[in-house]
Amino acid sequence: MVYNQNSMALNSRIISAHIKGKVSAWRDRLTRELSRVKHGGTSEGNRVKTYFDGDEAFNAMLVAISNAKHFVHLEMYMFLADNIGSRFASALSQKASEGVPVRVLYDAIGSLETDDMQWAKMRDAGVTVVEFRPIAFWRKRCGLLGRNHRKNLVIDEMACFTGGMNISDQWSKKHSGNSAWRDTHCKVIGPAAKHMNRLFLASWQYATGEKINPQPPPSSPDNAADKTHTKPDNKNGYGCRCIVIGSQRFSSQKEIRRLFSVHLAQAQHSVRMTMPYFAPPKRLRKAVYEACTRGVNVSALLPRDSDVKIVDYLREGLYPKMLSKGVRLIEYLGPVLHAKTMVVDDNIAVIGSSNFDILSVLMNSEVAIVVFDEDTVAALNRQWENDLSLSDPVRDDWKIKRPWWRLLAAKVGCFSIRKL
């Protein structure tokens, strides 16, 4: 009896080691594929915390800003002059007045509604504020397309924040109540912040012509990372591997497309993505269909109604073929869904600013962080289950629930992107 128990325990350890070995080899292969991108980098020993509540994320970001010792770099698509925006403007101005270099890069389209007085007050306090791709065509580096869609904050090259949350009351339950947008953000402590800072500096150089050589501060007990994150998030305590992947506007490498394509090609069991804007170009649609053909369970959580109606029509135009190929489509019925995340085989998490659409994949400056950490995967999976409780699956009879004009718009949308 004892022999049988020992034998079973030994077999169990052998099987467990075999599975871990296969997972490790798969992760290494995926890392090699993604490491070929030009913008970003791979690092070990990172600690990651996820945020699904806007107020919690904003408070963590403001604490990090207040603890900065060497510099603050903010790269933000939408930075409004509302309650949340005023809190950030005050925190950044205060830090600049202390003599810490503070640089803010905001997108001209995303922050179009922001009162210029907010920028003027920040500049008066010593914050260097720069507009990315102004829409005034007589100015340098102007234009309508090729937006900076990132939502990044880098502190002292020791800590960084990224995800889908912009600086606005729309993400705050305190100011927007139950209509606050559903989004996902994350904080990363560790060397991944260095790669995130490199992305900021590349965007800064494009927007200003100024080249800033990164000079990471020495590690000390006083740095912002230590004060904003005192314990590791993952169970082994050693931190995790992260891959930062960024795309620069109209990049020939199409880093974000490669990010999605590689995950879909390498997935063995499941891909679960949460995407507010779902209108992938032809090559990504093919990658989705090929994954389904291999037996991978591809699921997409999408909004029933997003804040951009034309994208809803484009998305619905893809429903018939997606369903016929076996893609599991789910429509979120809660507040505006804005999260951009992916979980692959319950082993890898992706959090970022990039949507699964043509603008993000082919035109915008975007960022995503690939996290090899079971705690981060578990957090995204828990939120997935919470979101499903406010969602309905898309079935073959989905057209019955749509008015005729929306079905017509979907057909036009499908026709317009079929070859993109």
Residues 6 or more apart in contact with residue 115 via CB below 8 angstroms: 81
Closest of 30, 257, 71 to residue 160, by C-alpha: 71
DSSP codes of every residue in 355-411: -EEHIIIIISBEEEEEEE-HHHHHHHHHHHHHHHTTEEE--TTGGGGS-HHHHHHHH
Residues in the chain: 420
165 residue type, one letter:
M
Does 29 map to a domain? no
Does 10 map to a domain? no
Does 353 map to a domain? yes
| Token pair listed for 110 | 């995303």
pLDDT tens, per residue, the chain with 420 residues: 544 555 545 444 443 444 445 556 656 766 666 666 566 789 999 999 999 999 999 999 999 999 999 999 999 999 999 999 999 999 999 999 999 999 999 999 999 999 999 999 999 999 999 999 887 664 556 566 678 999 999 999 999 999 999 999 999 999 999 999 999 999 999 999 999 999 999 999 999 988 988 766 655 444 444 444 334 444 544 589 999 999 876 555 578 888 999 999 999 999 999 999 999 999 999 999 999 999 999 999 999 999 998 899 999 999 999 999 999 999 999 999 999 999 999 999 999 999 999 888 888 999 999 999 999 999 999 999 999 999 999 998 888 878 877 888 777 777 666 666
Closest of 243, 255, 259, 79 to residue 171, by C-alpha: 79
CA distance 319 to 240: 37
CA–centroid distance for 295 within its chain: 27
* Count of alpha carbons within 13 angstroms of residue 10, beta-carbon side: 6
- At 402, which CATH number? 3.30.870.10
Does 21 map to a domain? no
Instruction: State the DSSP H helix or E strand holding residue 51, giving kind and residue range, or none if neither.
Output: strand 40-51
Does 15 map to a domain? no
pTM metric for this prediction: 0.87
Expressed as residue numbers, the domain containing 170 is: 35-417
What's the domain count of the chain? Answer: 1
